[in-house]
Amino acid sequence: MSPVAEVYEIKFAVEPSDIDQLGHVNNVVYLRWVQDVAVAHWTARATKEWQEELLWVVLRHEIDYKQSAQLGDEIQALTWVGAATRARFERFTELRRAADGVALAKARSVWCPIDAQTRRPTGVSAALLEMFSTAYVKKAN
């Protein structure tokens, strides 16, 4: 049986500036929350050394909008890392209304580590892979 990925969670409050002309949270705000929870997870778990050496860029976002959030809602954002290689990390995010747990959006993103100095794609250590991904994919030699 494979280990379960660590789920990281934070909460967001829906602000008046998040509401669009349709009277609910704008789709772009959901995407911002997807990014914000990913960054918070990295900041909370990565060593200071890793944070100084690496930055992350998104290669792809896929998001399914399920329900709309409203002004005054508290949003529960959950994220975890799926399959990873030294140069690509799959990340999943679920956004739920905290009051009742209703799923508002689900996202899958692909992130690439880049060297903080050169701003070029780079590989990561086995230790980092083991900390963040329970589904580390080793490349064949």
Going from N- to C-terminal start, the domains of the chain cover 8-136
Contact status, residue 87 vs residue 122, Cβ threshold 8 Å: yes
Q: Please give the CATH number for the structural domain made up of 8-136.
A: 3.10.129.10
Sign of CA dihedral 38, 117, 139, 128: negative
Per-residue pLDDT tens digits for 57-110: 999 999 999 999 999 999 999 999 999 988 999 999 999 999 999 999 999 999
Q: How would residue 135 be classed by pLDDT, with cut points 50, 70 and 90?
A: low
- For the chain, the distance separating the N- and C-terminal CA atoms, rounded to the nearest angstrom, is 26
Distance from C-alpha of 49 to C-alpha of 33, rounded to nearest angstrom: 25
Contacts of residue 116, defined as CB under 8 A and 6 or more positions apart, other chains included, come to 52, 53, 54, 55
In this prediction the pTM is: 0.89
Distance from C-alpha of 92 to C-alpha of 97, rounded to nearest angstrom: 17
Per-residue pLDDT tens digits for 9-26: 999 999 999 999 999 999
Residue 133: the pLDDT is: 79
